[in-house]
A and B are shown apart, each in its own frame.
Chain A
Amino acid sequence: DGGITQSPKYLFRKEGQNVTLSCEQNLNHDAMYWYRQDPGQGLRLIYYSQIVNDFQKGDIAEGYSVSREKKESFPLTVTSAQKNPTAFYLCASSRDGQETQYFGPGTRLLVL
């Protein structure tokens, strides 16, 4: 099956802890994205990557970090500097950044 996967489905973070959300795609897409969605809201861009070993900050990058060492993988780390991390996190990919984005099922992050 071709697609984009995210894990885990639910993630719990303790105060002061860094946590990493996984995003993998086997669509051979160059571009990958991370979005944050708060209840009843649209999507806000955290980070995006157009190509391996390169990534750019989105609108709300503070308190987050990413890496793009492989074309298939774009993990997102929520650091302790992110004071309000509770949200639904969506990863997406697209062929070249100009067309349709394909979304993963999302990870819901909760703070203990």
Chain B
Amino acid sequence: SQQGEEDPQALSIQEGENATMNCSYKTSINNLQWYRQNSGRGLVHLILIRSNEREKHSGRLRVTLDTSKKSSSLLITASRAADTASYFCATLWNNDMRFGAGTRLTVKP
């Protein structure tokens, strides 16, 4: 069964705006990962944040983790049309990885 739940299910923004996606989960985690999927393709790993970390950056990506609230957020700054994709959070606990249903992001040029 899926563990993470992304919010919103779909997000549409203009190029240059920031996009924020949220993920909530229910159990303990070793780490939380965000992945991106272009239509009809495999998933590509974006960033991993461990349970003892609160914030991580990678290029235009910023991920936060609040283990007390069992939630994470992914911020994409200065979005581009090429960022259009589905974004999934995945939680890992004792070799068991669970994916959410994803947020579909559309960036309009």
Contacts and interface: CB of A to CB of B under 8 A. Distances in A.
A42 B31 CA distance: 18
Contacts of A33: 97
A41 B101 contact: yes
A80 to B, nearest CB: 26
Given A41-B101, A44-B2, A98 B30 contact: yes
B2 A105 contact: no
Interface of B: 1-2, 30-31, 33, 35, 40-45, 48, 88, 90, 92, 95, 97, 99-102
A59 B42 contact: no
B1 A59 contact: yes
Interface of A: 6, 31, 33, 35, 40-45, 50, 59, 88, 90, 92, 97-106, 108
Contacts of A103: 35, 42-44
A99 B33 CA distance: 9
Given A42-B2, A59-B1, A102 B99 contact: no
A12 to B, nearest CB: 17
21 contacts: A31-B95, A35-B99, A41-B101, A42-B100, A42-B102, A44-B2, A59-B1, A92-B43, A98-B30, A98-B92, A99-B31, A99-B48, A100-B33, A100-B45, A100-B48, A101-B90, A101-B97, A103-B42, A105-B42, A106-B41, A108-B40
